[in-house]
Amino acid sequence: MKPRKAIILLLLIFLVSIAFRLYFSFQTEYYSDSDSFFHIRYIGHIKEDYKPMNYDPLSFGGRQMLVTQLPFFDYILAGLSFIPHAYKIIPTVFISLTVIVSYLIALKLTEDNTAALLSALMTAFLPSILTPTLNKISVFSLILPLALYMVYCLIRIEEESFLNQFVILCFILPIIHPLALLVSASFMIYVILVASEPDLKINSLRKEAIIFSIFLALLIEFIIYKKAFLALGFSIVWQNIPSQMLSEQLEQANLLELIYSVGIIPFIIGIVGVIFGITKDKTHPMLITISVAIAPLALLALKMFTLSNTLIVLGPILAIISAITMKKFFTYIRITKFSRYELLSKYLVLALITLTIIIPAWSTAGQVIQGTITKDEITVLEQIGRETSKDMVIASSAEEGHYVTYFAKRKNVIDKTFLYIPNIDSRYNDIKTLYTTIADSEALEITHKYGINYIYLSHRTKKIFGIRGLKYDPDGKCFRKVANVGEVEVYKVRC
Amino acid sequence: MEKSRFTRSVVKLLLIIITVWILTWPYIRRPENLLLSGREPYYHLQEGTLSFILSFLNHYTGVSIILLAKAVPVILGVLCILLFYEVLRKAKLNYGLVLLSSLILIISPSFIYLFGTLNAYAFTSVLFLLAFHLFLEKKEVLGLMMFYLIPFFGPISAIIALLLLLIYSLKNKKFRLFLIALPSLIMIYLLPTRILPSYNNIIISDFGGRYGLGIFIILLSLFGLKYLWDKKYRHLLIYLIILSLCAFSFFDVKALAFLNFILVGLAALGLISLSKEEWKSVLIKQLTLLIMIYGLIFSGLSYINFLSQDLPNQEILDMIEYLKTVPEGRVFSHGSREPWIEYSGKTFVTDKNLFYTNKIDQAMATINSKKIRYLWIDSEMETKIWGGEEQGLLFLLEYSKNFRKNKINDYVTLWEVVENP
């Protein structure tokens, strides 16, 4: 394939990716997770004050915010907020850039435009990237393409322009997200992989760049999370996520679901590509890419990385490595009797990708959009916001915490910004008990403990806790239903 | 290259100024009315060799014990740096390496802990360095005398010192030195010194380790080790010392303070070797070196901040003062509160099971058998022992008539056992 044609096709995939995402995003005026609404509040604060939010009066009933939320991504969005629908369009463009970076890495691995383009196409529709980033304001939209581009720069580090870009990214990445430490860990794994190969040697410049990136990432993260490191020690890698939430996540995950998240085709041919890479094509670009796949898996095995974060990184990497298998397949076809069907074989792979990734992506995207906050939820939350005084505390699940702070503009008891919250396990379990207990005395103990005035109960809450409603004293002396629209209810605590 | 006497004097003067500045910084940042930070100093203020030394100095100088408890470690820190500098210089190491090692030592968290608080290891380190300095000056008798003084400051440091002497003796074929020093071990049995518990076993200071090593020192020392490893077994002595001190730190994390002296040397070597190595990219080289230097400084500054904000706070000190005034009785609390409670003159008692018991009969049986009269509960204990929950002993204290609040402030509650509820 001619390079010019490849570039046109790549741009087409990039634009299709943007169009696909925006098509679904604009089916609703809201966002598909509660964290996005926290970002909107944060960006609003930046636009008003120009400073990062030091104190959030609503999250966890009021908390210090310093360094729990690295503001770089929010500053970018605040700066670009003059663009209409900026919070929908900008993250979409950012995450779609992953397609281009995937192509670049795959091309470097295979030097085959067709394989690289197919791998870029897979990346565009991977469920593991779609679910956490579609119609959501997520820092992963920015960090993922940047991290992959950093890997690409390391592969081409001998060229001065890439060296300079690598240096710049070494500074930028750690201030956006701690995922920079994962990239450093990957580079360390690459060094170990090369050391275990007697025929390979890391060139000096790449070694220097790796040393530099590791030290810089460590220093920046230590500066940013100084207090958290001192308070939580090494367990900061868990970001203070409640232990029950972590174990629930791991319990719920099964191999089939994992394969589905990464994508069946990228998973299978990606693994085959890894095997080729480790056994036959032991090149530096190959080992660098494989090490990026190994790092999150190793950290997940050590319970130092969440499953969802692992999948976000693993998905595109396997899609990139898939290019190796596809190239081998096309080359193999070329030297067999079926060589005249080479073009057909490429269409066959394209059809397979369409059937197993692109079409299921449509349904995945539909599910994500279906999970968006509903009109009923918003109506109830806004009503509670109007009818209550500002210091009221509303209990909700952690997943809905920022719906409470954004729509009702009232204090929540828990949300998903866990870092620095003391006794988070106890708080998380208490909220679970509040929704699942049958004893009103136990529920009252919890409402008194956190000063809860209202209990928010939506279809989402019911699904999260596996309940059909509150089992204790509904509409009794101590808990009175004060709002009910559709499936969404709010109870007032009266005792 | 040997520097002139004048240059060396200027360097020493600068080292003294920087050491005093760094070691007094945690005190300066700490609110004026707060006493010493940490737990161990409160033990040393009341018993042991350090208490004797402070009382002796107080008697002859008239300076208050508290001021002495702050000043003596700083003076020891200055002595330590000067001895460290001299020992390295006399060992005929490159002058740049000597200077850089000394500077890294000053800003290392372990050194700041050792000489920024009243600490038995501070005395041991100085005596140990002095002994080696005397050995290098060929004053072996005087050097050996130091080994007989070390056991006064604790058994573990005495054993570590002897172990290091053994390695030195074997390396320099002066085994008699070790044999002469060996009987000093008898002092351990003769002296009534207590092994103080380590209240924090994290080995990296940046992760909250009180006695820990700085992460950038560890990383840089790996580069130093790599440099030494190029000469394979020529530096077997250093590997042996590192391994033995690592092994000792498993038993007593404070042994890391000794390891720190070796690691700062290696870190300096690592930094120099990296700077001398030919790098393909000058930009990356300069940035990396800058980051490493900044990392070393950041680790130290961050630790100074940690030390200046460390407990005890004003509320704890108020409670210690209050405890001095209440009628005699044993005080129950967590083991980490022992030095503070004993500083008030009261007898400390602890029992892990009592924290978690939900049954009042069981709790009262323990309280009566241990003759406990007061119970010291503070906010940190509530979080760390009970996870902020009103459970176990905390629940009993709140709801049983067997206890009453004797004194309460924003941080500590002193409960008293009611004799006839």
Q: Does B192 touch chain A (CB under 8 A)?
A: no
Closest CB from B207, B280, B295 relative to A215 = B295
- CB contacts of B287 in chain A (<8 Å) are 167, 212, 216
- Res B164: pLDDT: 87
DSSP-assigned letter for residue B213: B
Assess if residue A73 is contained within a domain.
no
Task: Compute φ and ψ for B117, nearest 5 degrees.
Answer: -135, 165
A413 & A313 share domain: no
pTM score: 0.83
Cβ neighbours of residue A182 under 8 Å, at least 6 residues apart?
A: A147, A295, A296, A299, A305, A313
Q: How far is Cα B313 from Cα B323, in angstroms, rounded to an integer?
A: 15
Q: How would you write A421-483 as a 3-class SS string?
A: CCCHHHHHHHHHHHHHCCCHHHHHHHHHHHCCCEEEECHHHHHHHCCCCCCCCECCCCEEEEE
A66 confidence band (pLDDT: 50, 70, 90): low
Q: How far is CA A392 from CA A115, A379, A406, in A?
A: 57, 18, 14
> Which ranges in B150-230 belong to alpha helices (H)?
155-171, 175-181, 184-190, 215-229
- Res B199: pLDDT: 64
Query: Which residues on adjacent β-strands are paired with residue A481?
Result: A491
Mean pLDDT of chain A: 88
- Mean pLDDT on A127-141: 92
Of A347, A370, A393, the domain-final residue: A370
Assess if residue A56 is contained within a domain.
no
Closest CB from A167, A208, A231 relative to B208 = A231
A279 & A387 share domain: no
A366 & A383 share domain: no
Assess if residue A255 is contained within a domain.
yes
CATH number for the region B314-417 comes to 3.40.50.12610
A155 & A299 share domain: yes
A208 & A300 share domain: yes
- CB contacts of B383 in chain A (<8 Å) are 422-423
Interface test with A, best of B201, B203, B207, B275 (most A CBs within 10 A): B207
- Mean pLDDT on A25-54: 91
Q: How many separate domains does chain A show?
A: 2
A299 & A402 share domain: no
- Res A233: pLDDT: 65
A471 & A485 share domain: yes
A338 & A487 share domain: no
Is the pLDDT assigned to residue A234 strictly greater than 70? no
Closest CB from B208, B291, B306 relative to A215 = B291
Q: How far is Cα A388 from Cα A58, in angstroms, rounded to an integer?
A: 14
Provide the residue range defining the domain that includes A11. Answer: 3-26+85-370
- Res A296: pLDDT: 86
Closest Cα in chain B, distance from residue A208 (Å): 7
Task: Compute φ and ψ for B234, nearest 5 degrees.
Answer: -70, -25
Q: Is A204 in contact with B208 (Cβ distance < 8 A)?
A: no
Cα nearest neighbour of B291 on chain A: A216
CA atoms within 13 A on the CB side of A452: 30
Q: Is A216 in contact with B287 (Cβ distance < 8 A)?
A: yes
- Res A90: pLDDT: 95
- Res A301: pLDDT: 76
N-term to C-term CA, chain B = 79
- Mean pLDDT on A269-278: 88
- Res A94: pLDDT: 96
Closest Cα in chain A, distance from residue B33 (Å): 25
- Mean pLDDT on A326-340: 87
Assess if residue A10 is contained within a domain.
yes
CA A285 to chain centre: 25
Q: Is A219 in contact with B288 (Cβ distance < 8 A)?
A: no
- Res B388: pLDDT: 67
Cα nearest neighbour of A233 on chain B: B207
Q: Which residues of chain B have pLDDT under 50?
A: none
Closest Cα in chain A, distance from residue B9 (Å): 35
DSSP-assigned letter for residue A67: T
Q: Does B286 touch chain A (CB under 8 A)?
A: no
Q: Does B282 touch chain A (CB under 8 A)?
A: no
CA A2 to chain centre: 35
Q: Does B208 touch chain A (CB under 8 A)?
A: yes
Assess if residue A141 is contained within a domain.
yes
Residue A447 is encoded by which pair of tokens?
Answer: 């409402």
- CB contacts of A226 in chain B (<8 Å) are 302
Cα nearest neighbour of A213 on chain B: B288
A111 & A240 share domain: yes
Interface test with A, best of B226, B282, B284 (most A CBs within 10 A): B284
Closest Cα partner for B269 from B238, B291, B245? B238
Residue B309 is encoded by which pair of tokens?
Answer: 């904000």
Q: How far is CA B389 from CA A193, A439, B333, B386, B406, in A?
A: 48, 19, 17, 5, 22
- Res B192: pLDDT: 63
Interface test with B, best of A229, A240, A424 (most B CBs within 10 A): A229
A475 confidence band (pLDDT: 50, 70, 90): low
CA A259 to chain centre: 17
Q: Is A229 in contact with B388 (Cβ distance < 8 A)?
A: no
Number of residue pairs across A and B with CB atoms under 8 Å? Answer: 79
Closest Cα partner for B414 from B350, B326, B311? B326
Is the pLDDT assigned to residue A108 strictly greater than 90? yes
Assess if residue A70 is contained within a domain.
no
N-term to C-term CA, chain A = 74
- Mean pLDDT on A266-284: 87
A465 & A364 share domain: no
Residue A9 is encoded by which pair of tokens?
Answer: 């096709």
Interface test with B, best of A212, A226, A235, A237 (most B CBs within 10 A): A212
- CB contacts of B295 in chain A (<8 Å) are 215, 218-219, 222
Cβ neighbours of residue B328 under 8 Å, at least 6 residues apart?
A: B346, B373
Q: How far is Cα B378 from Cα B317, in angstroms, rounded to an integer?
A: 12
Closest Cα in chain A, distance from residue B373 (Å): 30
Q: Does B288 touch chain A (CB under 8 A)?
A: yes
Q: What is the pLDDT of residues B269-283, one digit of tens each?
A: 999 999 998 888 888
Interface test with B, best of A158, A168, A219 (most B CBs within 10 A): A219
Q: Does B207 touch chain A (CB under 8 A)?
A: yes
A175 & A281 share domain: yes
- CB contacts of B215 in chain A (<8 Å) are 218, 222
- Res B198: pLDDT: 66
Lowest mean per-residue pLDDT among A233-237, A318-322, B49-53, B97-101: A233-237
* Predicted complex ipTM exceeds 0.85: no
Assess if residue A110 is contained within a domain.
yes
Closest Cα in chain B, distance from residue A221 (Å): 11
For residue B303, give the 3-state DSSP assignment.
Answer: helix
Closest CB from A205, A226, A233 relative to B302 = A226
A466 & A403 share domain: yes
Q: What CATH number has the domain bearing residue A457?
A: 3.40.50.12610
Of A348, A370, A392, the domain-final residue: A370
DSSP-assigned letter for residue A405: I
- CB contacts of B382 in chain A (<8 Å) are none
Q: How far is CA A269 from CA A317, A318, A323, A345, A362, in A?
A: 12, 8, 8, 15, 22
- CB contacts of B288 in chain A (<8 Å) are 208, 211-212, 215-216
Better-predicted residue by pLDDT, A347 or B195: A347
CATH 3.40.50.12610 domain position(s) in chain B: 314-417
The DSSP secondary structure of B325-341, one letter per residue, reads: HSPS-EEE--GGGHHHH
Q: Is A233 in contact with B202 (Cβ distance < 8 A)?
A: yes
Q: How far is Cα B192 from Cα B188, in angstroms, rounded to an integer?
A: 8
Q: How far is Cα A189 from Cα A196, in angstroms, rounded to an integer?
A: 11
Closest CB from B219, B298, B387 relative to A223 = B298
- CB contacts of B206 in chain A (<8 Å) are 222, 229-230
Q: Is A230 in contact with B207 (Cβ distance < 8 A)?
A: yes
Is the pLDDT assigned to residue A355 strictly greater than 60? yes
Whether the CA torsion A413, A419, A422, A427 is positive or negative: it is positive
Cβ neighbours of residue B57 under 8 Å, at least 6 residues apart?
A: B63, B68, B72
Q: How far is Cα A259 from Cα B79, in angstroms, rounded to an integer?
A: 63
Residue B163 is encoded by which pair of tokens?
Answer: 């172990």
- Res A69: pLDDT: 67
- Res B200: pLDDT: 67
Better-predicted residue by pLDDT, B186 or A107: A107
- Res B1: pLDDT: 57
Q: What is the pLDDT of residues A359-384, one digit of tens each?
A: 889 999 999 999 899 999 999 999 99
Q: How far is Cα A40 from Cα B236, in angstroms, rounded to an integer?
A: 60
Q: Is A167 in contact with B387 (Cβ distance < 8 A)?
A: no
Q: How far is Cα A11 from Cα A429, in angstroms, rounded to an integer?
A: 48
Residue whose entry in the numeric block shows the structure tokens 């920022």: A402
For residue A493, give the 3-state DSSP assignment.
Answer: strand
Q: Is A233 in contact with B208 (Cβ distance < 8 A)?
A: yes
Closest Cα in chain A, distance from residue B386 (Å): 10
CA atoms within 13 A on the CB side of A13: 27
A67 confidence band (pLDDT: 50, 70, 90): low
Q: Does B215 touch chain A (CB under 8 A)?
A: yes
Of A344, A370, A396, the domain-final residue: A370
Q: How far is Cα B190 from Cα B155, in angstroms, rounded to an integer?
A: 11
